[in-house]
Amino acid sequence: MKPQTFLFNVLLISPFSYAKQKISLQWAICDLSPQDTLAKLGHNALPSYKENPITYYDEYPPIHINSGLMFRTKTNKGQPLSTVKVRFPGAVTDLPDFVDCSWNQYGNNSPSFTCEKRCALDSTIWQEEQVRFAERYETIDWDALHAYGPYPNAKWKVRIKGYKTKFDDVVVGDLHLMEIEVKVLREEAHGALQTITKHLKKRNVVLCEPQQGKTMRLFRAMGYLDYKNEEL
């Protein structure tokens, strides 16, 4: 999936269905540690409610992330699983019926449309439907996928200005890949974005620049990516 061929048909959405859709608003946090962020938000001794490892996959050095393809393994509700994600610049048509899709937005960036296929993790990491889904967009050398991790991933539930948010931290050595996330109806997204962003800045929470997902930030911190040349 070369950048010049990464083109998709925009799906026209009626005003009613648009209003009913949810979007995940996310803020990449660059404080020194989660304890610093929690203290700024008034939660000095808040314990994490979940701590599960996460492993990211790409080639070595990574090449698929710049095309919007992401591979990882983690644990969800006690179930080890693998997931393949594809991030698009907008909603798309002609998707397989076995994937789950959602809207996402980092900071003031334009919203993106992400689809994923999760499977229970067993002796084979990547299952048939995951392979079929990823290879719709790019040829994958599955044997060349390199495991980055596992890394500890702690999560907290934090209420910000009336919104129920989740705060998580992926620890890679001395690096903390932190993120705050809230899911709201798309019609409420602008108000929620402005309200929470204003509150984070008022509390001196350090927002990363640029605002990006944890996988991008991880590979950039490792020296593999230059954000000025990144497509997504």
Asked if 155 and 49 touch (Cβ cutoff 8 Å), the reply is yes
Asked if 82 and 116 touch (Cβ cutoff 8 Å), the reply is no
pLDDT grade, residue 76 (50/70/90)?
Answer: confident
pLDDT grade, residue 91 (50/70/90)?
Answer: confident
Q: Average pLDDT, whole number, for the chain? A: 89
CATH topology classification for 3-229: Hypothetical Protein Pfu-838710-001 (2.40.320)
Q: What is the pLDDT of residues 9-50, one digit of tens each?
A: 333 333 334 445 899 999 999 999 999 999 999 998 899 999
